Amino acid sequence: RCHLEPHLGAVSSRQKHTLPDLPYDYGALEPHICAEIMQLHHSKHHATYVNNLPVTEEKYQEALAKGDVSTQVSLQPALKFNGGG
């Protein structure tokens, strides 16, 4: 067994992922970044990462339970992408 498996198994014990509120108003960075871009980035792009991460984690847990290493490896980029987003 892979020595990382116990650590990766902890994915299922984490709290639900939620989109955090920004600690400032969308327009706070104007004129450098407009409010519309901040709202789009936060409410659409960042929210997509937050929503896709638990789906990917669930698929990863299923692959762990089945011992399906091929699927585990194929899901790692999505875990990194959504978890890092």
At residue 40, the pLDDT reads 94
pLDDT of amino acid 84: 86
Q: What is the pLDDT of residue 36?
A: 95
DSSP string covering the chain, please?
A: --TTHHHHHGGGGSPPP--PPPSS-GGGGTTTS-HHHHHHIIIIIIHHHHHHHHHHHHHHHHHHHHT-HHHHHHHHHHHHHHHH-
| pLDDT mean for each 10 residues of the chain (85 residues) | 46 72 94 94 92 94 95 95 87
Tokens of 43: 């409410």
